[in-house]
Structure 1
Amino acid sequence: MVEHTKLKTDENTPAGVIGQMVLPFAHTPRFRAADFVFAASNAAARSWLLGSTPWPERRLALWGAAGTGKTHLLEIWAQRHGARLLHGASLSHAHVAALFPACGARAPLMAIALDSADECADERALLHLINAAREHGMVLLLGARTPPARWAVALPDLTSRLRATMAVAIGQPGDGLLRVLLLRLLAERQIVVAQPVVEWLLRRLPRTALAMQEAANRLDHAALASGRPVTRALAAQALADLLPAEPPLVPADQKNDGLRVS
């Protein structure tokens, strides 16, 4: 296990477990094809992104809640197609113009993936990207948390393009995939958690991928700050607002008081 250097207080450490000085390491997720877990929740998305069926207008939007694997699939698709991977929040008109040659020459790229496309504040840049990709016969993949038809946009032309974009959803993972996800998130952060504690967490955490990510992040901070392994008590403290309250313990000699017969 890599030793975590403890240098400064991490302001994101859960209240109640700050006791030492820690250096907050930024966790970089891995998006290798071999790390993607196939499941029923992502079957339709895999079929459209990794299959051979052509997309209408050569454009597709992949949407779903945070943590469900959209970015991972976009990364895999971009690697397979040699696509340029962009982010919606930083997309600008000048950025888009630089991707396409002047005078109608054929673009050197044949595919573009735009993650978090619904975070694009420059509507004209997004419209330009969609139009230019179409004109150059380029494949365009958009990733977002909601389907394009529901994005709040003001430009009528952009609204029309988005409504004409085929959208495929990636669903929330089932119990089996949530287990794999939590174990992988803990392993990536090199957090050692006993199996009984893992099972306890899986029974009590909200059934979403985002909750598993949040739990792994908090447990990492809590373990660093306390200098102790992740126990059930430490997990309960770090994840107090994510977990349901546990019923109070009843002494053994009081458990059957209500069943006594006089």
Structure 2
Amino acid sequence: MSRQLILDLPLRQSQGREDFFVAPANALALATLDAPESWPQGRMLLIGPEGAGKSHLAQIWADTQGAPVMSAEELTDEAAPDLVRAGAVVVEDAERVAESAATQAALFHLHNLMLAERGRLLLTARSAPRDWGLSLPDLLSRMSATANVRIEPPDDALLSAVLVKLFADRQIAVPAALIPWLVTRMDRSLATARQLVAALDARALSENRAITRSLAAEVLDTLG
């Protein structure tokens, strides 16, 4: 069987509120982000594992607030005043500020400016600040005092919805019965769901095969 050339094209991932599936695992996080006026000192840390939907939730919040979204490693002291003028800021992967003294100092500066101007600061991270490896004591103190909300491990309904969305983002039609079949056999992780759908897409394209239970079983074996 001939193999097809696979082009590594960027995917269109829907990040609107209408594309966010609300489940017990993320309902509290969504409700918390929907009420920023209740955040202590205008700060909130959204914690969850890789692929849990933190970026999607953060983008929904950023859209409602008109907030710029920055990755932690992009932070600089020089950028902080412009970010503060927006009135609300999202810092993604906040744990990565620990990679350098400069980014730690920049986040500390941004935090203090946002507090002084009564702006709102949303941070996302995979773990609590005590696990980031921060070397700046004042920043560790500020981050540890920041209110947080967690995205919990996904249930069957959320995993199913995410699989459906991931296939749709790639414009792939799969049998409806395949989704619950995958959910009962895959690791219970949204990161695994992304990896699985990407692997199924690549395998189906390279071998010119439809995505069936047989192909899915083969791919699951390779991921295990």
Scaled by the length of structure 1, the TM-score of the pair is: 0.78
Residue 186, structure 1, aligned to residue 167, structure 2 = yes
Query: Deviation at 1:66?
Result: 1.3
Query: Deviation at 1:58?
Result: 1.0
Q: Distance in 2 between matches of 1:114 and 1:19?
A: 42
Residue 166, structure 1, aligned to residue 143, structure 2 = no
Q: Which amino acid aligns with 1:213?
A: R
Residue 198, structure 1, aligned to residue 182, structure 2 = no
CA 219–58 in structure 1, closer or farther in 2 if over 3 Å, else same? same
Determine the structure 2 residue equivalent to 1:88. Answer: 72
Structure 1 alignment gaps of length 5 or more: 1-16, 101-106, 244-262
Q: Give the total of aligned pairs.
A: 220
Q: Is the 8 Å Cα contact of residues 218 and 239 (structure 1) preserved in structure 2? A: no
Query: Higher helix fraction: Structure 1 or Structure 2?
Result: 2
Scaled by the length of structure 2, the TM-score of the pair is: 0.90
Q: Distance in 2 between matches of 1:222 and 1:157?
A: 49
CA 183–18 in structure 1, closer or farther in 2 if over 3 Å, else same? farther
Query: Deviation at 1:97?
Result: 4.3
Q: Which amino acid aligns with 1:65?
A: P
Query: Deviation at 1:52?
Result: 5.7
Q: How does 1:126-137 map to 2 (within 5 A)?
A: 126-137=107-118
> Which stretch has the larger CA shift, 232-241 or 54-63?
232-241
Residue 114, structure 1, aligned to residue 121, structure 2 = no
Q: Is the 8 Å Cα contact of residues 192 and 229 (structure 1) preserved in structure 2? A: no
Determine the structure 1 residue equivalent to 2:17. Answer: 33
Q: Distance in 2 between matches of 1:157 and 1:58?
A: 18
Determine the structure 2 residue equivalent to 1:143. Answer: 124
Match of 2:3 among 9, 13, 19: 19
Q: Which amino acid aligns with 1:214?
A: Q
Q: How does 1:91-102 map to 2 (within 5 A)?
A: 91-100=75-84
Q: Distance in 2 between matches of 1:77 and 1:19?
A: 43
Q: Distance in 2 between matches of 1:157 and 1:210?
A: 33
Q: How does 1:147-158 map to 2 (within 5 A)?
A: 147-158=128-139
> Which stretch has the larger CA shift, 224-233 or 29-38?
224-233
Query: Deviation at 1:169?
Result: 0.6
What percentage of aligned pairs have identical amino acids?
35
Note the alpha carbon deviations across 1:134-189, whole angstroms, 9 max, x for none.
Answer: 11111101011112243210011111111111111111111111111111111211
Query: Deviation at 1:98?
Result: 4.2
CA 177–111 in structure 1, closer or farther in 2 if over 3 Å, else same? same
SS of 1:204 mapped into structure 2: coil
Q: Distance in 1 between matches of 2:23 and 2:2?
A: 38
CA 135–197 in structure 1, closer or farther in 2 if over 3 Å, else same? same
Match of 2:27 among 43, 46, 50: 43
Note the alpha carbon deviations across 1:192-251, whole angstroms, 9 max, x for none.
Answer: 2223433322221111111111111111111111122112232223332335xxxxxxxx
Match of 2:192 among 211, 231, 250: 211
SS of 2:26 mapped into structure 1: helix
Structure 2 alignment gaps of length 5 or more: none
